A and B are shown apart, each in its own frame.
Chain A
Amino acid sequence: MSKQIEQIDPRGPRFGAAIINIFSIIIFFFALDKATEAIAVSLLSIVWVSFLWGTLLGNSKHPFGVFYKKVVRPKLAAPKELEDSRPPRFAQLVGLFVTSLGFVLLALNVPFGIAIAAGALFGASTLQAYFGYCLGCQMYLGLRRLGVIRG
């Protein structure tokens, strides 16, 4: 019954979050003005694909995850603990949801819809990358308690 659950280096998702973090604040800036909104939309599309990839294949098969494993991790000490791969993967789904929401708001002509989504992404990715607080992971237990998701 118990399927082998993939264990990953917790610093991998944080590395990915740091990249998303830089992207999201740039998108936020471009989304604030009509003249540059198109750039924001195309950058957000890239981020959307990134989250879709992470959601479907998991963090370790994501380009950021592969880059972390091949290039960054060999330069670091071994991780003290590994973590379950499910919460960070779930966090990717949360990211996908927030990014999609930006496009929906844009389609509905909500002013600064893209900026709102990018701002939310910036907040969540800052907390994960620099403070080690994984919002999506934290939501996991709460949402399970509410019965929204199942283990």
Chain B
Amino acid sequence: MPLETRIALVVAVILAVLALGLFWKLRTGRSKRVTNGQQIDLAKLGAVKNGKPVLAFGERMTFLQFSTEFCSQCVQTARVYKELEQHSDGILHIEVDITNRLDVAKEFNILQTPTTLVLDAAGRVTSRIGGATKAQTIKDETGHFTI
């Protein structure tokens, strides 16, 4: 194979991979609106917070985060939401570990963790965030609900 072709192939592969990486970086952690979102059943989900079962949704909104044990971005994302929860009213963060709850992963079609569902006051899904949530996404989501 001529040297020029080989060099061109190397450059093409590098550019293709960089494009893929940038595409992922842009998409991850952003929210997607869900229309006709499903109603979350807290009892069925078995959500636990600080050792107690979660009985009610956040007054304004709830961030329902699905995590797995083997996920460093989940820890990072949970920390961001905990901070948000402390500094704002009516926002609740629930984290559900689905490492051994493959039924839950299947029900919500979760392919990656963290995956976060944004719920309205009644517990209906309004949007979905795949990957580590971006700061801008939180701003957009919480801003949307204050109106």
Contact = CB atoms under 8 A, between A and B. Distances in A.
Contact of A86 (B22, B70, B75, B76): B70
Contact of B106 (A82, A133, A145): A145
B113 interface: yes
B17 A122 contact: yes
A137 B70 contact: yes
B130 to A, nearest CB: 11
Contact of B111 (A82, A86, A142): A142
Contacts of A131: 21-22, 24-25
B102 A123 contact: no
A86 B72 CA distance: 11
Contacts, number: 77
A130 interface: yes
A41 interface: no
A43 to B, nearest CB: 15
A133 B21 contact: yes
B45 interface: no
Contacts of A10: 72
Interface in A23-55: 25, 28-29, 32-33
Interface string B3-18: 0011101100110111
A81 B10 contact: no
Contacts of A127: 17, 20-21, 24
Contacts of B10: 25, 28-29
- Top 7 A-B pairs, shortest CB-CB distance: A83-B72, A84-B70, A131-B21, A81-B75, A32-B6, A87-B70, A126-B17
23 contacts: A10-B72, A32-B9, A33-B6, A81-B76, A83-B70, A122-B13, A122-B17, A123-B20, A126-B21, A127-B20, A131-B21, A131-B22, A131-B24, A131-B25, A133-B21, A133-B24, A133-B28, A137-B70, A137-B71, A141-B105, A141-B110, A141-B112, A144-B102
